[in-house]
Structure 1
Amino acid sequence: MEVNPLSIILVKSDSKGDRLLFRYPFHMQEKNEPSNARRRNPYTLPIVDDSLQTIPQPRSNINKCQLTGFTDEVLSSLFAVKPELCNRKFELKVNDVRFVSHPTLLQLRKKQLDTSGCLLINVVFALQALATHSVVKCYHDLSKLMGILLEHEETRCGYVNDEMQVMMTAHDDGYASNPDAAFLTILEKSILAKNLKKMYEDLCGTGLVNIRINRWIPLNFCLPQKVHQWHLQGKLVEPEDIDRCIKSLRPYHSLLLLCPVQSINDFISLDGSPSLKRMLTQYSPLKNLQTLATDSDLTPSHIFDLTAHLVYWARATVIYPICSTNKYVIAPEASLHLNSPLVDKFSELFQGMNLIRAISEFSLPTSLGQKCNPLHHPSQQSTLVQMIIWMLQNHLLLQLHTYIQFMIADQFVANQSESESISATRKMRTESESGTSTISEGLESKSEAETKNSSENFSYNSTDEDKHDYHEELLLDFTDEERSIIFKIPASNNTDDLRLFARLCRKKYFTGNHHIEEIMYLENLRRSQLLQLLDKFRDVLITYETEDPTIAMFSCP
């Protein structure tokens, strides 16, 4: 897997020269030749080929996901860079290995140990050459963070110089012939070496680094490409995808924790954000972010920042708050088989319930309101909500949102020939320009009772001609054919309905890119208003249900 590091290397350079102090892992085969390779017959004659026509085979420096083929001297000379290259990104590609680091120049606290008083320290990560740009950037950020913390500790108490002396002593005390023995000794005596070892194991394991430099300064780091794989079953999540999701956050969204609150509190360091702890005390997936901000006595922007932090660290995901109108359906790639470990976990958490039977009720899109029987006891409804939360946390369900598309159906055109449609449109234009009191053909077909009821909804007194002109102005952005069909809809005679319909169309809400919840938030509309409008103009508005693409990357693996 290209996100895992091949090795961590620590190199120093000062007035006494450069040296590789430590690297992990250090049990490496220096030869690329496999152990089961056949021994070469010493009596065979070598085959001499034309060197100009022979293409050299590319050499690999990766063996069993570890770095190989580089001696300590070669690595120290590669990464003991000049002072001009310090405090900036360093990247080097050799064969199929890419090295990335952030060399840092330190001022030694105990200058008597070095005449220049300067020490270059370089924490280098060896990666596969195929690692993406975002992965390389993450490791560079980690190397830079390590440099900053080591510089701080060197200034405070001379920590780096002391650790360097421990490592150099181990190399000089008779272990030069066996570098692995020297590294073992360093690992036993050096706190910094233990930190580097744990960092490597955390990066290859969970992707979350949680160590303390010099047993004092906490270093918390997240490799998002790795950490999101444990709950998305191997799906690679790039930081750019997370940023795109965070930028699309709205106050109507909600937060869904993927682990217990207590485990998040345990992970937070002692000097962690108190506002994060305050938000977690008020957390509920039934609250939107705006309500959560109010209950936590925090600003919405601060809540957004805390949400982004939890999502980035794979401690939470973004959903729409759980309510009775939400529609859920089984995720297409849900891990649902009889031997799935989720079946047993579900039975342990919800006594007497079966996961397959419970989730089968969502084979078709089903709203939570359809499942909540008002005659049931509140405890039963609470259990149902908890089951939905658990299924969302395990990516067994995904929520469907209703999207709206303005479309002229063929049935309207089939009711009349093309010539009749054109003549009717021309007639409407002529009547409007001549100032006559004739109304459109669609309005003439209305009964007197319907005309009387529609006229009562107008908020002003005017002639039929003025009403028609005003309606024409509302639909100036539509084509002649679209206006002709819209005017045949009875709801178009109601000015308020037509004005709302035209406004939403003009703002591109009916292009299939905005779901109902988003339109309600952006236009400050009630759900009943929007649903009534959809029903009145159902002849030209079609709806379909799908997941929200903004948070789809966190919905299912």
Structure 2
Amino acid sequence: MSLNLPNPSILGILLVVSTHSGPQLVFQYPPDLSNDSKKSSNLKRTNKTSTLQRKDSDSDELDIDDDDYIADNENDEEFVNADNDEEKEWDSRKMNYYLGTKSDLLSFLDEQEKFRQTSQERNKIYGHKQSDSHIDPDEIKSLHRNSKSGSSDKQIESPKLEASNSNNLKKTISSISDSQKSSTSKASTSGIPPVSPITSSTILGFEADYLCEMLCPPKQMCNSRFEIMIDDLVFLGLPIHSYDNGSWKSKHSHRPKSGKSSKGRSKNAADNASIDEGIDYETTSKSQSKNSMSMFHLVFIMNPPIIECNYRIDEMFHYVISRLSLVLRYEQSKHEYVWNQIRMIYNLKEEFRNQATMANLTKYLTDKSSLCKLISECFTQISRSNIANLSINNKLRSFQIPIKTEFHSLPDSTVPYLPGSHLSSTVNMLANTGLISVGETIRYDVNNLNSGGLDDFDDIDDNKSDSNADDIIYYALLLLDDPETIIRDIKAQQQSTLANFIRMIKPTESLLKLANKLKQQASDNGFSLDAGQIKSFAFHLIYWRRARVILPISTRSVYIVSPMAPITLKFHHDIFIFKKTFPALPSLPHFLKLLSNSSKPRQLATVIPSKDHRDAYLNALSWLIRYGYVTQLHTFIWLKISRKIKMKVEEDLENEGANNKRKKPSATADPNISNKLNAGTDNTSKTESNPEDIQRKMSQLRMINRNNNGNPTSYEQEIDNIEKKLLSPSIGLNLVLEDEGDTIIIDPGRASSLERRWINKVISEECNLSPELTVKFYELLKYMNGKNSLELLLLKENVSRQELRTLLFAIEDHIISVRHW
């Protein structure tokens, strides 16, 4: 199991609506849901366990009531093992398998079993004769009513039913099929929208009518997450129901101010809250349509692995189902898009009624109906883990389940991941934006399994998340494909603003630098973009999996071979590609050796032979970062407070307290109370008692010992030794309390008053910084928390490397530095 690998686990999509005529299945994709090999194998098991081996539990009898059918488990098992020829006739992959009602079929099987029990007696009477006469369904129902009447000793005298007669079974099924067709034609004349016989087949072994009723929940259960599991199949959706006034959006609904949601799958806001929080738009009179549709439900059928079930379901609901359903609700409220498309689908089915196959009908519907087309494209792209670009009422919408190709820490050795994944702590900047999905780093992470990346991490500060998202302007974009290929794939016009922006992206320049360059060139070429537009384009390219966020590539930065480099998977193939792309540079193994040759990581500039090779080496480095072979080494620092500094600050506090108390007049006449007030806080020792008090207490201990024992003992000698030690004048010098170590300030930007005293003592007395360095120190103090790299600090605060080097050298005894990705 690995949650890092894409696994949509989607089997199909159903569109179900509820009208005045009742629940109806409008469209299904793919069309051959009942013929899938995996589903048919599951259905074969379901037929044996659910249809023939009926349980006594009410939870297993999903199709009929207890009053309609009472089965015997042991007799059903004997019937299944007795006749293999009849089992072929009851193959779930056949179209005639579920024709008729379940009550009729199960009643017939019940009567067959009862005749098997009395077969020996009947064989003696009728001489093992077999009848080929037709079995009337009404007769089967009457026999079934007789079997429920309670007369167990009454024998049914009819030679027309034999357990071994497969021809009778075939004729019964065909008779029930004719009865169902006639009832369908009656429904058509009663005003119900016609349903083509092509679509009235089984779906994953379940009757279409049965699924429609199950997937159309009551109004109270709509507008929230819908999830039901039958066998190994999960039916997941977001049923959209109209309100009493005919609108599709509640007037009083509002978007919550905070995006936080409680942890856990059962408490997820997307699961339990109303979907009115999704899209904010005002209800118009047009939304109060007078159509007969009261609910529509886009249902995704999934079959995820058991150990990943919760995670995959949450993932699909959060990224695809909820967002797509909300968009459809918006279009229905504004333009009645869903209802117009459903009426079109009914008309197209009527035109196509006399055609041959279900596949032809599906192709015909997807060509004519935009709703059917978007459902088919959604299934095709999501099942392949691609981005689904859907046209919904002539508006382009994108949906995807983000692929985990970026990690902030090294995954466990037992957790597989996609080859070429990127390892860098910079992915934390976008971890909460929904643009990327950071991969799991440990085996069976409880948070990953339960939350599925769906909650917004309650322990993260909102302001901090917003600032991190804004930091993208200081980063660079690394395109994951050729610029012209990206422009063609996203279907952008060749001379559009987005196309020109993509052509100008360089991994060596930050987006802020690119924005400043565009401002300078705006007067010449008339092409200008502000920082907000550039950030928006960057987010789009990241979401479309066309770019990756990195720090600008520089020759002064340090790069190492990534621990996640695909050495064992793609190395031999990439050697040929690297040599073809950069023929003038060393081979791929030799290039990686240059980066990891010395024991101490070094700057890229030490690897480049000359300035003429600079651009070629930078291009090769960007290629290696793109395919996961190389990652940048970042530097993180913490501010350390030594024990010496803390003792000095403590002395200063005691002196300040003593001075304040001397200046303050006595508040009481009691000398004992006055002494206690002037004593202050003494953390050194409690041995400064009066010697007379010590002797008096020791004599009391001796008297107690004599009263108990009658004569001095060794206990009294021990008391004398303790008394000598306590009366010794050097006791205060020899007594040492707990030896406290150094302290690391976790968040110096939010330091307490005591921590600020420590920091001031370091700057003023220990380091003796100049006024210029002191100002620079306090500007950069908030970055000394081990979370912000110094490489990013140089870009955000516009600090030169020389200034930073001088400051770090001055305070090097009071900082802890760590270098990692």
User: Counterpart of 2:324?
Assistant: 142
Identity %: 18
Q: Is the 8 A contact 1:21 1:168 kept in 2?
A: no
SS of 1:11's equivalent in the other structure is strand
Structure 1 segment 371-382 matched on structure 2, within 5 A: 371-373=607-609, 375-377=610-612, 380-382=613-615
User: Counterpart of 1:165?
Assistant: 347
User: Counterpart of 2:503?
Assistant: 281
* Cα distance between partner residues in 2 of 1:387 and 1:522: 27
The Cα shift of 1:306 comes to 1.8
Partner amino acid, structure 2, of 1:369: A
Q: Which runs of no fewer than 5 residues in structure 1 stay unpaired?
A: 41-45, 108-114, 176-180, 434-474, 548-557
1:376–1:518 distance in 2 versus 1, CA, 3 Å: closer
Partner amino acid, structure 1, of 2:11: L
Of 188, 208, 225, the residue aligned with 1:72 is 208
1:481–1:323 distance in 2 versus 1, CA, 3 Å: closer
* Cα distance between partner residues in 2 of 1:271 and 1:335: 36
Q: Is the 8 A contact 2:17 2:296 kept in 1?
A: yes
Partner amino acid, structure 1, of 2:346: M
User: Counterpart of 1:327?
Assistant: 558
Partner amino acid, structure 2, of 1:361: L
User: Counterpart of 1:555?
Assistant: none
User: Counterpart of 2:631?
Assistant: 398
Of 237, 240, 252, the residue aligned with 1:100 is 237
The Cα shift of 1:508 comes to 3.6
2:384 is aligned with 1:205: yes
User: Counterpart of 2:618?
Assistant: 385
1:301–1:515 distance in 2 versus 1, CA, 3 Å: same
1:539–1:117 distance in 2 versus 1, CA, 3 Å: closer
Structure 1 segment 156-555 matched on structure 2, within 5 A: 159-167=341-349, 170=352, 173=354, 181-188=357-364, 190-191=366-367, 192=369, 193-212=372-391, 218-225=396-403, 232=421, 236=439, 238=453, 247=469, 249-269=471-491, 274-296=496-518, 297-337=528-568, 340=571, 341-351=573-583, 353-363=586-596, 365-373=601-609, 375-377=610-612, 380-408=613-641, 489=766, 491-492=767-768, 494-501=770-777, 503=778, 507-547=781-821
- Between Structure 1 and Structure 2, which shows a larger proportion of strand residues? 1
SS of 1:513's equivalent in the other structure is coil
SS of 1:94's equivalent in the other structure is strand
* Worse overlay, 139-148 or 243-252: 243-252
Of 23, 28, 40, the residue aligned with 2:36 is 28
Of 287, 292, 297, the residue aligned with 1:122 is 297
Q: Is the 8 A contact 1:7 1:24 kept in 2?
A: yes
Partner amino acid, structure 1, of 2:476: S
1:188–1:202 distance in 2 versus 1, CA, 3 Å: same
1:343–1:11 distance in 2 versus 1, CA, 3 Å: same
1:169–1:21 distance in 2 versus 1, CA, 3 Å: farther
Q: Is the 8 A contact 1:102 1:140 kept in 2?
A: no
User: Counterpart of 1:112?
Assistant: none
Q: Deviations for 1:299-343, whole angstroms, at most 9, x for unmatched residues?
A: 212222221222122211111111222211111111124862322
* Cα distance between partner residues in 1 of 2:788 and 2:216: 54
* Cα distance between partner residues in 2 of 1:255 and 1:265: 15
Q: Is the 8 A contact 1:100 1:136 kept in 2?
A: yes
Partner amino acid, structure 2, of 1:509: Y
Partner amino acid, structure 1, of 2:421: L
Q: Deviations for 1:56-82, whole angstroms, at most 9, x for unmatched residues?
A: 899xxxx9xxx8343211222233456
* Cα distance between partner residues in 2 of 1:80 and 1:422: 73
Partner amino acid, structure 2, of 1:6: L
* Cα distance between partner residues in 2 of 1:425 and 1:477: 13
Q: Is the 8 A contact 2:54 2:60 kept in 1?
A: no
* Cα distance between partner residues in 2 of 1:481 and 1:195: 63
The Cα shift of 1:525 comes to 2.8
SS of 1:525's equivalent in the other structure is coil
* Cα distance between partner residues in 2 of 1:154 and 1:99: 24
Larger Rg: 2
1:184–1:6 distance in 2 versus 1, CA, 3 Å: same
SS of 2:535's equivalent in the other structure is helix
1:240–1:545 distance in 2 versus 1, CA, 3 Å: farther
TM-score, structure 2 length as denominator? 0.48
* Cα distance between partner residues in 2 of 1:264 and 1:140: 28
User: Counterpart of 1:19?
Assistant: 24
1:404–1:55 distance in 2 versus 1, CA, 3 Å: same
1:169–1:231 distance in 2 versus 1, CA, 3 Å: farther
1:199–1:168 distance in 2 versus 1, CA, 3 Å: farther
Q: Is the 8 A contact 1:224 1:313 kept in 2?
A: no
The CA RMSD over aligned residues, in Å, is 4.9
Q: Deviations for 1:282-308, whole angstroms, at most 9, x for unmatched residues?
A: 211111111222334222122222212
SS of 1:277's equivalent in the other structure is helix
Q: Deviations for 1:506-525, whole angstroms, at most 9, x for unmatched residues?
A: x4433323322343455443
SS of 1:249's equivalent in the other structure is helix
* Cα distance between partner residues in 2 of 1:211 and 1:123: 15
Of 3, 20, 29, the residue aligned with 2:8 is 3
1:69–1:36 distance in 2 versus 1, CA, 3 Å: closer
Partner amino acid, structure 2, of 1:125: F
Q: Is the 8 A contact 2:332 2:339 kept in 1?
A: no
1:204–1:479 distance in 2 versus 1, CA, 3 Å: closer
Q: Is the 8 A contact 2:239 2:296 kept in 1?
A: no
Partner amino acid, structure 2, of 1:362: L
The Cα shift of 1:484 comes to 7.0
1:480–1:146 distance in 2 versus 1, CA, 3 Å: closer
The Cα shift of 1:252 comes to 2.0
Aligned length: 463
Q: Deviations for 1:117-139, whole angstroms, at most 9, x for unmatched residues?
A: 44454332223452353431222
User: Counterpart of 2:314?
Assistant: 133
* Worse overlay, 268-277 or 535-544: 268-277
* Cα distance between partner residues in 1 of 2:355 and 2:649: 103
SS of 1:529's equivalent in the other structure is helix
TM-score, structure 1 length as denominator? 0.68
Q: Is the 8 A contact 1:123 1:146 kept in 2?
A: no
1:24–1:273 distance in 2 versus 1, CA, 3 Å: farther
1:225–1:272 distance in 2 versus 1, CA, 3 Å: farther
1:287–1:540 distance in 2 versus 1, CA, 3 Å: same
Q: Is the 8 A contact 2:291 2:339 kept in 1?
A: no
Q: Is the 8 A contact 1:286 1:322 kept in 2?
A: yes
1:299–1:396 distance in 2 versus 1, CA, 3 Å: same
Q: Is the 8 A contact 1:102 1:144 kept in 2?
A: no
Q: Deviations for 1:368-424, whole angstroms, at most 9, x for unmatched residues?
A: 222234x442xx2211011011011112111122222222568x89xxxx9xx8799
The Cα shift of 1:154 comes to 6.5
* Cα distance between partner residues in 2 of 1:423 and 1:222: 56
